[in-house]
Structure 1
Amino acid sequence: MSRSLALLDTQIDEADQRLATTVGQGGANFVQNAILGPLADKRTATLDRIAIAIGRVAERPTGLDALAMCTLKDSGADQASASASDTATATDTATATATASATASGPSAEDFVDITTVARNVKKVRNRRGASTGTFVSKCGVNAQRRFNTDNVIVAPGVSNGAHHTHDYVGNDSTDFQSTDETLAAAGTSCTNGDLSTYYWPVLRIQDGTEEFDANRLGGGLEGNVGRIVTAEKATITFKGSPVGKVTAMPRFLRIITGDAKAFTNGTANANAHWSCTGFENKVQLTDKYPLCPSGSKVVRSFAFQSCWDGQNTDSVNHRTHVAFAQADGTCPSGFKAIPQLVMRLVYDVPATPNFAVDGFPEQAHKPITDHDDFINVMSDKLMNRAVRCINTGRRCG
């Protein structure tokens, strides 16, 4: 059933992509006949499979087919109207609609907080005897080359603009929607130690009126992601150990997503955002607020990835169940084994004013809780084994 639930999200994403790429096509009923109608048919079939699956273990639910129909939001209605006119008019309408929505789509002043007013909230798990206390660092740069795209090869392989927002990329040189295990393994890397892994996260922008290169593109201004893209001053990629024991090697091509790009509407179950300021990281970590830092301090985004693996799969249908977070005492859940924990730290020099935000899906209003990070392990077995040895023997390597 989890596969069917994930498919419902995929179907919506594909319909959104089709809406965005067919502006100006067809007549007045094009959107309904070519996009919404087929989407309803697909959702009906998927919901029927879900009902059958539930019926095998409990009373089969009725009425799920009522959930199959989808309607356009206001911006979508504008697009549908534009589809009935000529291409030039449609493009102008879509751009104007996107620009207008971008202005009002967030963040708001309530999304920011003066970090000096927040009480200490950081707690740490103490290491036990036998803990793996070493670290392994990959130095992969800060994306000074401005390698951007709006794809997400983990969630939407083969789909251009699958993320609907722009990502920074470091590590593997070839990552985009067309990437495969084979192309990633054959590519170059920005990492100085030969780490071919791919690391990518939503860009941070200052909404200062600057028109970036993507101001009139999908994933950028046409989907509410506006302003000047800020390159991190520092991007630290560190693999750490377990506080309760040794770690085992990650499998090559393991995929991990941490955080939830749709946490504002999905709820916080999968959220894993961490915001702070230099000098405050060991005291305060924010999840649902952007920090306003005092003079001399800089904004820090950090991501502590899942550190437990099911021992079998490099991915899962929902891209989550094959990995897990350690429990409160530092141990992995039953059936999972500890692997090196990827911890990323990004430092930004931005003004202490409420006008910066991460890229995101339009409906997520650029909320700080939607921050997320993606990783595909493409280290050679030799390099991964070296990392594990360093971590398990308490050394600092990289």
Structure 2
Amino acid sequence: MGRIARSPRKRPTLPRRMTLAAAALILGGGGLAAVNFYASASEGGAGGRGPSGHDMSQMRMLSTIDCPDVGNSLSTVPDAAKPRVDRQLADLDTQITDAYTEFADNKDRIQRDPGLADRMVLAPLKAKRTDSIGQIADATGQPDLNGKGLAACSMRAADAPEPGDQGSDPSGDRTGGDGQGGDQASGRGDGQAVAAASAASASGLSRRDFVDIRSVRPNVAAPAPRRGASTGTFTSDCGRNQNGKRNPDNVIVAPGVSNGAHHMHDYVGNQATDAFSSDGDLARGGTSCRNQGDRSTYYWPVVRVLDQGNDVDAKADGGGKDKNLGKIRTPVQATITFVGSPVGKVTAMPRFLRIITGDAKAFTNGNANANASWSCTGFENRQLKDKYPLCPQGSNVVRTFKFQSCWDGKNTDSANHRTHVAFADKRGACPAGFKAIPQLVQRIVYDVPAKAGAFAVDSFPEQLHKPVTDHGDFIDVFSDQLMGKAVNCINTGRSCA
């Protein structure tokens, strides 16, 4: 879809633009702290220098903090060192959250004197990270961690301005960065558009984070099953979290740490899951699954509607304290299905296997581990990785998580929680040394307003609720009998539940 036509006008002068920037600094729904400098070289004095002599061209929409992911750099962690390392990794996340809050709370001062970002935010953060990384290096016997430049963080923009953008509003009228149309197809009037843009700004989003699903070309392709493929399915009915089991913990990444996720999770399946759950606790825990042989833990970040007030966690960890505000929306449907391999048979998962799909920090980490898939009912042959979909009337938003389907045959977890499992290649084959296991596919459906900025997924505060950060977590707590049944159904081409 084409770019919205703009009426010709001059760009605002720098003083007016700085005023507009200040007006755009909203800390409401999700805690966006955007320092919006859209100055050309001819503005702000000789050489395009702004306050305190900083190069204004390098300071566009400073909105968040970008730190290297230390966890992804870990190769091995001795069993005896895991509690200490998990604690330090969780501390690193808390340090970033605290630094982001410091930045957000002092946005006006930093706007007037951008050098404060270094003195107030980045330098203290680096000192804390240096200490934590040193402790991880000592615990793991990986002294090279200290030399990888992992301690230093930087400020970064939420979105780079597009050529021809006018003014300083990061949620101004533009199409998505990938050439897919924005929300202009919804036919909303100017008043509604302004309200939607305000909601988007308040959540840390811009309108470019949303796209009309009808403007997206079909892009889903699956490998054709070969002879000997495992074409069956096993479905576990675990509900849609009607009972509202939620917490901001992450027992996989931050075991033993309250609020280790800094965002709220929906849970289905095992009802004993929190940060302190042992494998024994999970084995004994109740389950929301209809088949009591499935006590597995399935969890994902909640989706919130941003313009309908706040929820009960507005002043709690994982909620408002971590810049996650708005009404939590319970899914209208949540389907859990295990499918087979297009190139051969699958083998049973080991009990207590842990799998994370996607990357909660993909906005700053990049797309290497991102696995978000957003779409709309009736349009699921069109999947979006870094955009939220705007669905037409009668269609609902869909999140689809396709988990890794290859296992190393030995480990139920790994130091970075990733390398013990892998994705199959485009043909559906596992990497050398890996075995095909039933692939978990979660399909979660929401009834949310079809307005840009009206909804968002919970996230770490500095990730600004971006759609690319979507992720899912799974701990296998099937009984041996039920796992055997699931594998048999899948390998023999039947559909079972």
User: Do both share a fold (TM > 0.5)?
Assistant: yes
Contact 2:282 / 2:295 at 8 angstroms: preserved in 1?
Answer: yes
1:154 is displaced (CA, Å) by: 0.2
Q: Does 1:238 align with 2:310?
A: no
1:293 to 391, 400, 419: 391
Q: Secondary structure at the match of 1:251?
A: coil
Which structure is richer in relative contact order (CA contacts within 8 A, separation 6 or more)? 1
What aligned pairs does 1:36-75 form with structure 2 within 5 A after superposition? 39-44=129-134, 46=136, 64=147, 68=151
Say if 1:45 and 1:253 are closer, same or farther in 2 by CA, change over 3 A: closer
| Alignment partner, residue 370 of structure 1 | 469
Alignment of 1:15-164 (within 5 A): 15=95, 39-44=129-134, 46=136, 64=147, 68=151, 104-164=202-262
Is contact 1:102-1:221 (8 Å) kept? no
Q: Provide the C-alpha distance between the structure 2 equivalents of 1:35 and 1:349, rounded to a whole number of angstroms.
A: 40
Match of 2:279 among 181, 199, 202: 181
The residue number in structure 1 matching 2:13 is none
- Do 2:267 and 2:299's aligned partners in 1 also have CA atoms closer than 8 Å? yes
Q: Is the 8 A contact 1:299 1:350 kept in 2?
A: yes
> Quick one: distance in 1 between partners of 2:95 and 2:135?
16
Kept in 2: contact 1:48–1:64 (CA 8 A): no
Partner AA of 1:2 in structure 2: L
Task: Give me the identity figure in percent.
Answer: 61
* Structure 1, gaps ≥5 residues long: 21-30, 55-60, 74-100
Which range moved further: 297-306 or 38-47? 38-47
Return the offset for 1:2.
2.1
Q: Deviations over 1:215-245 (max 9, x none)?
A: 0112101111110111111100000000010
Which amino acid letter does the alignment assign opposite residue 41 of structure 1?
Answer: D
Q: What secondary structure does 2:335 align onto?
A: strand
Residue of structure 2 aligned with 1:13, choices 93, 102, 126: 93
- Report the TM-score, using the length of structure 1 for normalisation: 0.81
Counterpart in the other structure of 1:328:
426
Distance 1:46 1:193, change over 3 A: closer
Shift of residue 123, structure 1, vs aligned partner: 1.0
Amino acid at match of 2:74: S
Q: In the alignment, what sits opposite 1:23?
A: none
Instruction: Report the alpha carbon displacement of residue 351 of structure 1 after superposing the two structures with TM.
Output: 1.3
Partners of 1:193 and 1:366 lie apart in 2 by 34
Q: CA deviation at 1:19?
A: 8.6
Per-residue CA deviations over 1:178-233 (Å, capped at 9, x if unaligned) read 10100000011000011100000000001014120100112101111110111111
**Aligned residues, how many?**
354
Match of 1:206 in 2: 305
SS in 1 for 2:401: strand
Q: Which amino acid aligns with 1:215?
A: A
| CA–CA distance in structure 1, aligned partners of residues 237 and 96 of structure 2 | 36
What is the CA-CA distance between 1:48 and the residue it aligns to?
Answer: 7.9
For the 8 Å contact 2:90–2:257, the answer to whether it is kept is no
Q: What are the superposed Cα offsets for residues 305-343 of structure 1, whole Å, 9 maximum, x if unpaired?
A: 000000000000000000000011110000000000000
Structure 2 portions without partners, runs of 5+: 1-72, 78-84, 101-120, 157-198
Larger Rg computed on CA atoms: 2
Q: 2:209, 2:388 within 8 Å by CA — same for their partners in 1?
A: yes
Residue of structure 2 aligned with 1:356, choices 427, 443, 455: 455
The Cα of 1:11 is off from its aligned counterpart by: 4.2
1:397 aligns to what? 496
Alignment check: 8 A CA contact 2:76 2:415 kept: no
Deviation sequence 1:50-108 (CA, Å, 0-9, x none): 99766xxxxxx9x83975477999xxxxxxxxxxxxxxxxxxxxxxxxxxx99644222
- Partner in structure 1 of residue 74 of structure 2: 2
Residue 44 of structure 1 deviates from its aligned partner by 3.6
Distance 1:166 1:52 in 2: 33
Instruction: Give the Cα–Cα distance (whole angstroms) in 2 for the partners of residues 65 and 343 of structure 1.
Output: 36
**Alignment counterpart, residue 216 of structure 1, candidates 311, 315, 334:** 315
